[in-house]
Amino acid sequence: MLDDTEISARLAELPEWRLSGREIRRTVAARDFPTAIRIVNDVAARAEELDHHPDIDIRWRTLHFALTTHSAGGLTEADFALAADIDRIAADYAK
Ligand SMILES: C[C@H](O)[C@H](O)[C@H]1CNC2=NC(N)=NC(=O)C2=N1
């Protein structure tokens, strides 16, 4: 599990993400509902590759992602790696 200093350093490189308790969270506003679902599908595929899975709340075209490492009871490198991938996927669909 990462300590507070390590978490702050990684969050500084991921400006879309906010710390909330033992999770990091971000919102993605897709252009429409089908695009939101494509983003979810791409994130799901990446999560399977990494064997690390986000909590996802789908509200029409707005997605809320929350990342934590359940087995560690807090944030680990795996959360920040997946966060960076979610940012790349969201950016691809914003073009
Ligand atoms: C067996 C498998 O590796 C574990 O259940 C994985 C799967 N995906 C996971 N995802 C997340 N976010 N936290 C975990 O602890 C976790 N554990």
Domain that holds residue 51: 4-94
ipTM entry: 0.91
pTM of this structure:
0.96
The Cβ of residue 38 has, within 10 Å, a number of other Cβ atoms equal to: 15
Residue 45 has which token pair?
């595929």
Q: How many domains does the chain have?
A: 1
Confidence of residue 41 (pLDDT cuts 50, 70, 90): very high
Type and span of the H or E element at 10: helix 4-12
Counting from 1 in the atom list of ligand 1, the atom nearest the Cα of 54 is: 12
Q: Is 71 in the pocket of ligand 1 (CB under 6 A)?
A: yes
Counting from 1 in the atom list of ligand 1, the atom nearest the Cα of 55 is: 12
User: Average pLDDT in the 61-78 region?
Assistant: 98
Q: Is 70 in the pocket of ligand 1 (CB under 6 A)?
A: yes
Q: What's the rounded Cα separation, in Å, for the pair 53 and 82?
A: 8
Q: Is 46 in the pocket of ligand 1 (CB under 6 A)?
A: no
Encode pLDDT of 14-37 as tens digits. 999 999 999 999 999 999 999 999
Average pLDDT, the chain: 98
Residue 50: give its domain's CATH number: 3.30.1360.20
